[in-house]
Each structure stands twice: as structure tokens, then as C-alpha cells.
């Protein structure tokens, strides 16, 4: 988005950012609601995206999932963008993945076959054993959360720091007829506009131009089959 662009009345501009890398992303361990902090690479990524956002139009607030990997990313962004307030919202958490959480993805089918079957299902209404959420529940939770934020901040630009599975659901809300998205990269920037009347558009998708091409993780895993 060009620096001279400004947010107009009638919509909220929400910059949705995936958290920085964790050691579990690098090891392809399934995080879900488990509270894993950023690793050194993740903190460097967060600094890079914070620097980028500080040079773009003014941010009024930063919202974040209350999980450490998102909250720490959000704090770094907020500090660079004029020390704005960080507000946490548990509805921005990653999908709860039940009995899959804490497992290395490649081992999950053997160790938790029922949970893996539910996770791999093409149906969106299947809960994952062990307290996990269906894709429908995730979608309802996180799209409602973003709508609340949009309704509250019409005419403003805010940042939301969240997780791969959540961002995938938000994409489906913004572009319901589009193809499914693939990887959601750590600290990728995705700009949504939420208009009066519940209309959503996506202005920027999956932008990681602030990162060195050798410095970000291609395979971070968490809330869906390729990211989180």
C-alpha cells in the first residue's frame, strides 16, 4: 500500500500479520493452543515487519491473540509504531487441534490416528478428538472477532497479529469463491478492508517483501495442513 494512501470513513483497514517463527514451526510440531514463544529467527522477523509497518500509514491499535508467539510479535510491532496499545483477544487464537497438539506432524497419523483422521477430513464440521475445533468453529470464532474489530475502528488502520489457521479462515471470508490458499508464511502481511454492511475486501495478500528471501521459514506448521 502506498504511503500516501489514507484510510477513509466507511471502512476499517486491518493489517493481519502472522506471528514470527517458533522452534516448533521449524520442527513441524503442532502447536494449536499450546503456548510456544518465538525463537531468535521469529524475533528478527517481527522486527522486520514492525519496521515496515512503522513506515506505512498510522496504526491506531494493535490486536493480538493471547498466545505468546503472537503477543510477542504484536508487542514488537506496537513499540515501533508509536508505542500503541496492544489489546489481546482469545478469539484470535489458533485452531485448537485436540490430541494432535504437541506431536510432530509426520508422526501424528500413527500416534493419534482418530485425531489425524478428523484433522485430514474434507468436511468442515468435524471436531478433532481431545477438545479440538472443527474448521467451521474456527471460522465462526475468528471471522466474528475480526468483524468486531472492524466495526469498532471504522476510518482507522489497525494491526491484528494471529495464526496461520486463522488467516486462512479470514481469507475464505474475504474471498469466498477463490481457490484455497497454500502456505501462510511467518510475519506475512495481509491487508483487509471491512466496510459498513459486513463487506470485506482483501487489498494485499501474503506479502513478505520485508524479509530476506533466505531468512524466513517456508514450512512453518500449526493450525492447518501447511501453516499455523
**Among the options 13, 47, 72, 94, which is catalytic?**
94
- Residue 21 in marked binding region: yes
Contact indicator for 73, 38 with CB cutoff of 8 Å: yes
Query: Is 33 known to sit in a ligand binding site?
Result: no
> 25 labelled as ligand-binding?
yes
Question: Is 23 marked within a binding site?
Answer: yes
24 is in an annotated binding site: yes
Active-site residue, from 19, 33, 153, 163: 19
Burial class (CB in 10 A: 0-12, 13-18, 19+), 8: exposed
Known active-site residue 13: no
Give the C-alpha separation, 228 to 218, whole Å: 12
Active site residue 19: yes
Dihedral Cα 28, 29, 34, 38, nearest 10 deg:
-40
Q: How far apart are CA 34 and CA 198, in angstroms?
A: 32
Residue 200 annotated as part of some ligand binding site: no
Q: Would the annotation count 39 as a binding residue?
A: no
* Binding residue numbers for substrate: 18-25, 69
* Binding residue numbers: 18-25, 69
Catalytic residues: 19, 94
Amino acid at each position: 500500500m502506498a504511503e500516501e494512501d489514507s484510510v477513509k470513513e466507511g471502512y476499517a483497514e486491518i493489517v493481519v500479520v502472522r506471528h514470527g517463527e517458533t522452534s516448533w514451526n521449524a520442527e513441524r510440531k503442532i502447536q494449536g493452543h499450546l503456548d510456544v514463544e518465538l525463537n531468535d529467527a521469529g524475533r528478527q522477523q517481527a522486527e522486520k515487519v514492525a519496521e515496515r509497518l512503522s513506515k506505512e500509514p498510522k496504526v491506531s491499535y494493535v490486536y493480538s491473540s493471547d498466545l505468546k508467539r503472537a503477543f510477542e510479535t504484536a508487542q514488537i510491532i506496537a513499540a515501533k509504531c508509536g508505542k500503541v496499545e496492544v489489546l489481546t483477544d482469545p478469539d484470535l487464537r489458533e485452531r485448537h487441534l485436540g490430541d494432535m497438539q504437541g506431536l510432530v506432524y509426520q508422526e501424528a497419523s500413527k500416534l493419534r490416528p482418530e485425531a489425524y483422521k478428523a484433522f485430514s477430513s474434507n468436511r468442515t464440521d468435524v471436531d478433532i478428538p481431545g477438545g479440538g475445533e472443527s474448521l467451521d468453529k474456527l471460522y465462526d470464532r475468528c471471522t466474528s472477532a475480526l468483524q468486531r474489530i472492524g466495526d469498532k475502528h471504522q476510518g482507522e488502520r489497525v494491526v491484528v497479529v494471529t495464526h496461520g489457521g486463522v488467516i486462512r479462515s479470514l481469507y475464505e471470508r474475504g474471498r469466498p469463491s477463490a481457490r484455497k490458499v497454500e502456505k501462510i508464511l511467518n510475519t506475512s502481511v495481509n491487508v483487509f478492508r471491512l466496510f459498513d454492511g459486513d463487506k470485506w475486501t482483501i487489498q494485499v495478500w501474503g506479502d513478505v517483501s520485508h524479509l530476506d528471501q533466505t531468512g524466513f521459514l517456508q514450512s512453518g506448521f500449526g493450525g492447518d495442513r501447511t501453516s499455523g
